[in-house]
A and B are shown apart, each in its own frame.
Chain A
Amino acid sequence: MSGHSSSYEPTSRWGKWWDERLPVARMMHAQFVEFPTPRNLNYLWTFGGILFLCLATQIVTGIVLAMHYQPSEAAAFNSIEHIRRDVNFGWLMRSIHAVGASMFFIAVFIHIFRGLYYGSYKAPREVLWILGVIILLIMMATAFLGYTLPWGQMSFWGVTVITNLFSALDTIYDGMGTGIVEWLWGGYAVSGVTLNRFFSLHYLLPFVLTGVVVLHVWALHVAGQNNPTGLDIKQPSETVPMHPYATSKDAVGMFAFITVFAWFVFFLPDYLGHADNYVEANPLVTPPHIVPEWYFLPFYAILRAFTGSFLGIPLGSYAKLLGVIAMFASVIILAFAPWLDTSRVRSAKYRPLYRMAFWAFVFTCVALGYLGSKPADGVYVLWAQIFTVLYFAFFLVAMPVLGLIETPRRLPKSISDAVLGSGGYGMPVGAAAAPEKR
């Protein structure tokens, strides 16, 4: 993978035999034992490992659930109840899988915000970052498909609403959107046919995701990890071997995370879901208030912000199409962050204005999430429109402009300087960034 050589020496005959034929152990040793990690990483850097754990958990529990689940219109809902009630520890598997989806998103959002804060998207990590955005998109697709499978009211109507979005393409070319929607559904409405294909894709996508994760880790091991100072590694003494240093820290982060995870699995298995999904899907009864799972709420708020008019600008028949475009754009725009950000300083630690913009962006995302859970009328729509503007302004205004007008704080000369220098790491930024002594 990356350039640095491995000091791996197989000790057994068996080990030597393999090393001459397929040096997997050598590669693992180089990449996950000796691999140099910056010595100043904080606990936010444990989320990479946590996410790997989340993916593995979802795959393992998902495979077990698929042994008992029946993807048909007549049997899907009952088979979930069968799993909850009759399968040995089925309630546990289902609870881990359902809660696990939420935990996966909590972890991925923290991971992304960490990247945005410390400038992990900037050169030379653009490909690493874009692969991450692709992972996010596949994750969202997988979660959406998976939410269909319990075949409750919210499953059914959630799918109906979201797949229907593609019909907005009719505005561009008459019949194109409707055609796509019917192709997705496999009919003229969401039905058992849709459920069946969604199950198939829900089983497929995690393995595609795993493939992209391998590329993501590969790209990470080529460019090396970013760190809280955002500075490049200048000498080997600024790093520590991955094992036991990063691994011991990752283990703490992982177990703390699993503890929270378990709290939800055992004490709040339905807290993050919706009561309506315990009612079997019924095409004849529309729930009064259709909402997606919490992790889609900010994007849902952006979608619904485009009503007949947007902040007073009439949108006419383009409202729906623009909403759909804005929703997809809100994720895809992340991929352009490496080029939208004009600052050469990576870490927000040394960027006072960007740091404010970052926290405003975090607030914007939370506010959009709250608005997404509210009915789309009255003052909620107006606020959703304002926060939609602020969401995109972070990328399209703050990122390019702040890099040009902002005076960054004095950077430490190197990680060594920041960590080992007179001020020492962990002191106020001003101290760490004090002028170097010559």
Chain B
Amino acid sequence: MKQTILAVATAIAIGAASAPASTPAFAAGEGPEIPRQSWPFAGITGQFDKAQLQRGFQVYKEVCSSCHGMSRLYFRNLVQPGGPEFPEAAVKALAAEWPNQITDGPDDEGKMFERPAKLSDPIRGPYKNEKEARAAQNGAYPLDLTLIAKARSVERHAHWTIHPFLMLGDIAKGYQEGGADYIHALLTGYVDPPADFKVGEGMYYNAAYPGHQIGMPAPLSEGSVDYQDGTPGTVENYTRDVATFLSWAADPTHDQRKSMGWQVVLYLLVTTVLLYLGKKRIWAKIKH
């Protein structure tokens, strides 16, 4: 019992002492703090910019696709409204020339065969499976990128007293861009390691990656993609464009969702007010 009282007292003392101090940057189970970016598609009103999605796809095609597939994204998605909206003919041609062909079959002789992709086919990466990828990539596995923007998030390192207010702020703003923030931080996170940090063989230092050692070398450098629309070819631009493209790929109904959302929410607000006025009238003569 005495022990229990002691423990409670200690806990309160520790809590009181640690309250004003900021949370350490690397508390257990938490990754490095990642700054939030401003995105044109962010929040409750944001929509994707078609030109940016097209540039983002170009970055994916010319850089990322040499290792990463997007097996849940189909060539037809590149044509559909709310996406990059490339002309159908151009995407047909793109699919036909896509280096990673589709395994189809069996044919009339019972054999599987490779054929060029069509609009209805997924955007395949260079590897047939994880084993082949790891064998080719020195043990590292280039993830499928279709859902990566949804599968990553950023943590907030705030004191518990501030946490509820940050949450309410995020809810009011409609913050859902953690994945894009993470991708941005990762692709711009290839900096020189601290002097005392030992980077393993075949690994690269990355400030944003959990543990700071990543198997992927810095994929982007100034001028590595040749934009056709006059946008400067900087790493920052490539990163923003590809993060935007990946955000769309993970959520292809995003634009429709938000524009429909406004209509629904406005309708509901007006209806709530009308119902409230009706209720007031009904109850006008009732003391309650």
Which A residues lie at the B interface, using CB under 8 A? Answer: 39-41, 78, 81, 84-85, 91-92, 95, 240, 244-245, 248-249, 251-252, 255-256, 258-259, 262-271, 275-276, 278-279, 288-289, 311-313, 370, 374-375, 377-379, 382-383, 385-386, 419-420, 424-425
Q: Tell whether B147 is near chain A: CB-to-CB under 8 Å.
A: yes
Q: Are A85 and B275 closer than 8 Å at their CB atoms?
A: no
Q: Tell whether B219 is near chain A: CB-to-CB under 8 Å.
A: no
Known contacts A311-B8, A312-B6; A271/B170 CB under 8 A: yes
On chain A, the residues within 8 Å of B282 by CB distance are 244-245, 248
152-177 of chain B: CB within 8 A of chain A: 152-153, 160, 163, 170-171, 174-176
Q: Tell whether B11 is near chain A: CB-to-CB under 8 Å.
A: yes
Q: Are A85 and B265 closer than 8 Å at their CB atoms?
A: no
B143 to chain A, nearest CB (A): 9
On chain A, the residues within 8 Å of B174 by CB distance are 263, 267-268
Main secondary structure of the interface of B (DSSP, over half): helix
Q: Are A288 and B29 closer than 8 Å at their CB atoms?
A: yes
Q: Tell whether B203 is near chain A: CB-to-CB under 8 Å.
A: no
Binary contact track B160-198/A, C-beta < 8 Å → 1, others 0: 100100000011001110110000000000000000000
Q: Tell whether B44 is near chain A: CB-to-CB under 8 Å.
A: yes
Q: Are A420 and B287 closer than 8 Å at their CB atoms?
A: yes
Known: A259-B272, A262-B261, A377-B28. 13 other contacts (CB 8 A): A39-B288, A91-B257, A251-B279, A259-B268, A266-B258, A268-B174, A275-B179, A288-B29, A311-B4, A313-B4, A382-B11, A385-B7, A419-B287
In the complex, A240 Cα to B286 Cα: how many Å? Answer: 9
Which one of A252, A258, A264, A289 lies within 8 Å of B279 (CB-CB)?
A252
Q: Are B72 and A85 closer than 8 Å at their CB atoms?
A: yes
Which one of B11, B29, B151 lies within 8 Å of A379 (CB-CB)?
B11
Chain B residue at smallest Cβ distance from A248: B279
On chain B, the residues within 8 Å of A244 by CB distance are 282
Q: Tell whether B223 is near chain A: CB-to-CB under 8 Å.
A: no
Give 23 CB contacts A-B under 8 Å.
A39-B287, A40-B288, A251-B275, A252-B272, A259-B272, A264-B171, A265-B261, A266-B257, A268-B175, A270-B176, A275-B150, A275-B153, A275-B179, A278-B147, A312-B4, A312-B7, A375-B27, A375-B28, A379-B18, A382-B7, A383-B11, A424-B287, A425-B288
Known contacts A81-B147, A311-B7, A379-B18; A275/B152 CB under 8 A: yes
On chain A, the residues within 8 Å of B3 by CB distance are 311-313
Chain A residue at smallest Cβ distance from B28: A375
Q: Are A262 and B72 closer than 8 Å at their CB atoms?
A: no
B63 to chain A, nearest CB (A): 23
99-137 of chain B: CB within 8 A of chain A: none
Q: Are A248 and B278 closer than 8 Å at their CB atoms?
A: yes
In the complex, A270 Cα to B6 Cα: how many Å? Answer: 42
Q: Are B287 and A378 closer than 8 Å at their CB atoms?
A: no
On chain B, the residues within 8 Å of A95 by CB distance are 257
Q: Are A289 and B257 closer than 8 Å at their CB atoms?
A: no
Q: Are A259 and B171 closer than 8 Å at their CB atoms?
A: no
Binary contact track B22-36/A, C-beta < 8 Å → 1, others 0: 000001110000000
In the complex, A259 Cα to B286 Cα: how many Å? Answer: 28
Chain B residue at smallest Cβ distance from A289: B29
In the complex, A35 Cα to B226 Cα: how many Å? Answer: 73
Main secondary structure of the interface of A (DSSP, over half): helix
Q: Are A275 and B151 closer than 8 Å at their CB atoms?
A: yes
In the complex, A41 Cα to B171 Cα: how many Å? Answer: 30
In the complex, A240 Cα to B287 Cα: how many Å? Answer: 10
Known contacts A85-B72, A248-B278, A259-B272; A266/B11 CB under 8 A: no
A388 to chain B, nearest CB (A): 12
Q: Are B272 and A256 closer than 8 Å at their CB atoms?
A: yes
Which of B3, B7, B27 is the most central at the interface, judged by chain A CB atoms within 10 Å of its CB? B7
Chain B residue at smallest Cβ distance from A265: B261
On chain B, the residues within 8 Å of A377 by CB distance are 28
On chain B, the residues within 8 Å of A383 by CB distance are 11, 15
Q: Tell whether B89 is near chain A: CB-to-CB under 8 Å.
A: no
Q: Tell whether B246 is near chain A: CB-to-CB under 8 Å.
A: no
Chain A residue at smallest Cβ distance from B148: A278
On chain B, the residues within 8 Å of A266 by CB distance are 257-258, 260-262, 264-265
Q: Are B272 and A268 closer than 8 Å at their CB atoms?
A: no
In the complex, A278 Cα to B120 Cα: how many Å? Answer: 23
Q: Are B287 and A248 closer than 8 Å at their CB atoms?
A: no
Q: Are B252 and A85 closer than 8 Å at their CB atoms?
A: yes
In the complex, A288 Cα to B31 Cα: how many Å? Answer: 10
Q: Tell whether B210 is near chain A: CB-to-CB under 8 Å.
A: yes
On chain A, the residues within 8 Å of B8 by CB distance are 311, 386
A252 to chain B, nearest CB (A): 5
A16 to chain B, nearest CB (A): 30
In the complex, A266 Cα to B150 Cα: how many Å? Answer: 16
B288 to chain A, nearest CB (A): 5
In the complex, A425 Cα to B283 Cα: how many Å? Answer: 14
Q: Are A375 and B151 closer than 8 Å at their CB atoms?
A: no
In the complex, A91 Cα to B261 Cα: how many Å? Answer: 13
